[in-house]
A and B are shown apart, each in its own frame.
Chain A
Amino acid sequence: MALVATAAPAKAGQRRVVQVEELGVRLRSETHRVRSLREYLLLGRRHVGRVSWFEALSGITVSLQAGELLGVVGDNGAGKTTFLRVLAGIVPPSEGRVSVAGAIAPLVEMGAGFDVELTGRENVFLYGAMLGLDRRRVAGLFDVMVDFAGLQDSMDTAVKNYSSGMVARLGFSVATAVPPALLLVDEALAVGDANFRLRCSDRIDRLREQGTVVVLVSHDLELVRSQADTALWLHEGRVGAVGEVGAVLAAYQAQLERGGGEVAA
């Protein structure tokens, strides 16, 4: 049930960093909202019981070794983002077991954790702190982070005046300045320009050499094909296919061509 930090065995390249067993996540659907104490007191408990839940994820089992890159594909609403959030520790599993060796598992997605009213500089420190880095660490890495994002001249500008590409660059740069055990990327690189994407994939390669596991969610199947070691196709919250990239993508594409029918067993 709990996300347990386990001790990492020594040998890089073979140690298991991420272990997901029979993961299930139940989330509240927005339709029945009984959210006031007044209604609760007036209508009683049975109406509160009417809050409806759906299985955002169920029966997911995946295991990832140090340095591995998992590409996650699937339709909108298939549970890809929820899956990343579970790995990041944001969403607690309702069922099953998730363990990640290592404390820091940043999730890079559009505008992640940024306060748009604050300047770029303030956000670097705040986002760094939210990743659990202490002030001195962030201060020491500040120039490196800003250089990588190519935003030297925009640090005193409020983030609300940034383009979405600038936000993505800064987010990725801060999240990857300290090699994390697990890096979760949710379509964040799609808005960067070609030059930045190139540098991102360079940095991802370097992180993987140091043992970072990368989970990449993307609708860009060619990107997944070229980068991923293994792939996971999520279909309506379940595993559509998992394993060798070519086979998984073929299964996903076959389903796309059938026009989104049931998955063959």
Chain B
Amino acid sequence: MQRGTSLARLARFSDCLWLLAARALSVRYRRSVLGFAWTLFYPLGTMVILSLVFSQVFAGVGHYAFYVITGVLPWGFFSLASIQAADSLLAASPVLRKVYVPSVVFPASVVTANFVNLLLSLLVLPLVALATGAQALPSFGLLALALVCLLAFTGGVSLLLAAVNLFFQDVRYFFEGILLLWFYATPIVYPVSVLPEHLSWLPAINPFAWILLLMRGALYGSVVPVGAPLLCVAFSFSVLAIGWMLFHRLERRFYAWL
């Protein structure tokens, strides 16, 4: 199976990756009248509802609606991409049993499609900022760094899930449960300041909270602790490297389980 290194193989099949990603997006956009608008429906809807419910509770948070959407968009990308990636190998099994394609192409195309969707979704942020009166001058360098970390972290988690879910097909459901807990353990819809004293360590051990810290630093103008960018880069790429290596170590065993 080893025709060149795994990276070289992925490069040779990059067109395949893009076509699969483009297909996933075009199916998503083509199959409904509203198309792309639907993918904004969830984050915007969440934002509106939460603002109505919580803007009094979290009155201390300036521009609460903007705070929420800067958290919900990256979280939506992470959770959707990783869940879809978990299923990606099984979904591709008719192809993987018949054509020689590096299997990494399938989870990678899922993450790519969702990432493109996230980038498009970010374009509504200036509108939300205008509507809520939040600052609309993002720091683009920090935003790019946050997005790169988010992509690497999501990619690593997606590769792990895709590989493991082939052997144990309920891993996906375990992970959905974990995601639910993870969502509430992460300061997405609430500010860190509402955490009680005995839980204040929670965001510090939560990789997604660190990525959000960068994201909000870039978009929302909150203070980013010195060292946070470096820390984010370090753990995001570690997760990616671990996912990549585990995926390729297990790859030889995939066929029997497809």
Chain A interface (Cβ within 8 Å of chain B)? 2-5, 26-28, 35-38, 40, 53, 85, 88-92, 103, 105-107, 109, 111-113, 115, 117-118, 122, 125-127, 129-135
Taking A3-B1, A5-B3, A40-B168 as known contacts, 10 extra A-B pairs with beta carbons closer than 8 A to each other, sorted by chain A number, are: A35-B168, A90-B96, A90-B97, A103-B12, A106-B99, A113-B95, A115-B23, A122-B23, A130-B16, A132-B12
Interface residue B176 (Cβ < 8 Å from any Cβ of A): no
Q: How far, in whole Å, are A103 and B171 apart by their CA atoms in the complex?
A: 35
Q: Nearest Cβ distance between residue A140 and chain B, in whole angstroms? A: 14
Q: How far, in whole Å, are A129 and B100 apart by their CA atoms in the complex?
A: 11
The SS class assigned to the B binding surface is helix
Chain A residues with CB below 8 A from B99, complex form: 88, 90, 106-107, 112-113, 127, 130-131
Interface residue B5 (Cβ < 8 Å from any Cβ of A): no
Q: How far, in whole Å, are A112 and B98 apart by their CA atoms in the complex?
A: 6
Q: How far, in whole Å, are A109 and B95 apart by their CA atoms in the complex?
A: 11
- Whether A105 contacts B100 by the Cβ 8 Å rule is yes
With beta carbons under 8 angstroms apart, the residue of A92, A107, A125, A131 that contacts B19 is: A125
- Whether B97 contacts A132 by the Cβ 8 Å rule is no
Listed by A's residue number, 15 A-B pairs whose Cβ atoms lie within 8 Å are A3-B3, A5-B3, A28-B257, A88-B99, A89-B1, A90-B96, A107-B98, A109-B98, A113-B98, A115-B23, A115-B95, A127-B99, A130-B13, A130-B99, A132-B13
With beta carbons under 8 angstroms apart, the residue of A3, A37, A109, A122 that contacts B170 is: A37
Chain B residues with CB below 8 A from A118, complex form: 23
- Whether A4 contacts B20 by the Cβ 8 Å rule is no
User: What's the interface size class on B, roughly?
Assistant: 20 to 34
**A-B contacts, CB under 8 A, total:** 86
Q: How far, in whole Å, are A32 and B19 apart by their CA atoms in the complex?
A: 37
Q: Nearest Cβ distance between residue B26 and chain A, in whole angstroms? A: 9
- Whether B168 contacts A85 by the Cβ 8 Å rule is no
Contacts A122-B23, A126-B16 given; does A90 touch B170 at CB 8 Å: no
Q: How far, in whole Å, are A26 and B257 apart by their CA atoms in the complex?
A: 12
- Whether A129 contacts B15 by the Cβ 8 Å rule is yes
Interface residue B32 (Cβ < 8 Å from any Cβ of A): no
- Whether A107 contacts B171 by the Cβ 8 Å rule is no
B51-92 at interface with A (beta carbon < 8 Å): none
Q: Nearest Cβ distance between residue A88 and chain B, in whole angstroms? A: 5
Chain B residues with CB below 8 A from A135, complex form: 15
Of the candidates B12, B95, B98, B256, the one having the most CB atoms from chain A within 10 angstroms of its own CB is: B98
Q: Nearest Cβ distance between residue B21 and chain A, in whole angstroms? A: 12
Q: How far, in whole Å, are A111 and B168 apart by their CA atoms in the complex?
A: 28
**Nearest opposing residue in chain B for A40, CB measure:** B168
Q: Nearest Cβ distance between residue A28 and chain B, in whole angstroms? A: 4
- Whether B3 contacts A103 by the Cβ 8 Å rule is yes
Which 6 residue pairs are nearest across A and B when measured between Cβ atoms? A129-B16, A37-B168, A113-B99, A89-B100, A36-B170, A129-B15
- Whether B100 contacts A90 by the Cβ 8 Å rule is yes
With beta carbons under 8 angstroms apart, the residue of B20, B27, B100, B174 that contacts A107 is: B100
Chain B residues with CB below 8 A from A109, complex form: 98
Chain A residues with CB below 8 A from B252, complex form: 92
Instruction: Annotate B18-51 by CB proximity to A: 1 below 8 A, 0 otherwise.
Output: 0110010001000000000000000000000000
Chain A residues with CB below 8 A from B95, complex form: 113, 115, 130
Chain B residues with CB below 8 A from A5, complex form: 3-4
Instruction: Annotate B225-238 by CB proximity to A: 1 below 8 A, 0 otherwise.
Output: 00000000000000
Chain B residues with CB below 8 A from A113, complex form: 95, 98-99
Q: How far, in whole Å, are A28 and B256 apart by their CA atoms in the complex?
A: 6
Q: How far, in whole Å, are A41 and B23 apart by their CA atoms in the complex?
A: 37
Q: Nearest Cβ distance between residue A55 and chain B, in whole angstroms? A: 13
**Nearest opposing residue in chain A for B170, CB measure:** A36
Of the candidates A26, A27, A89, the one having the most CB atoms from chain B within 10 angstroms of its own CB is: A89
Contacts A3-B2, A28-B256, A122-B23 given; does A130 touch B169 at CB 8 Å: no
Q: How far, in whole Å, are A1 and B35 apart by their CA atoms in the complex?
A: 48
Interface residue B255 (Cβ < 8 Å from any Cβ of A): yes
Q: How far, in whole Å, are A88 and B101 apart by their CA atoms in the complex?
A: 10
Q: How far, in whole Å, are A111 and B20 apart by their CA atoms in the complex?
A: 18
Chain B residues with CB below 8 A from A122, complex form: 23
Instruction: Annotate B174-185 by CB proximity to A: 1 below 8 A, 0 otherwise.
Output: 100000000000
With beta carbons under 8 angstroms apart, the residue of A85, A125, A133 that contacts B97 is: A85
Q: How far, in whole Å, are A132 and B99 apart by their CA atoms in the complex?
A: 10
Of the candidates A27, A38, A112, A129, the one having the most CB atoms from chain B within 10 angstroms of its own CB is: A129
Chain B residues with CB below 8 A from A26, complex form: 256
Chain A residues with CB below 8 A from B255, complex form: 27, 85, 90-92
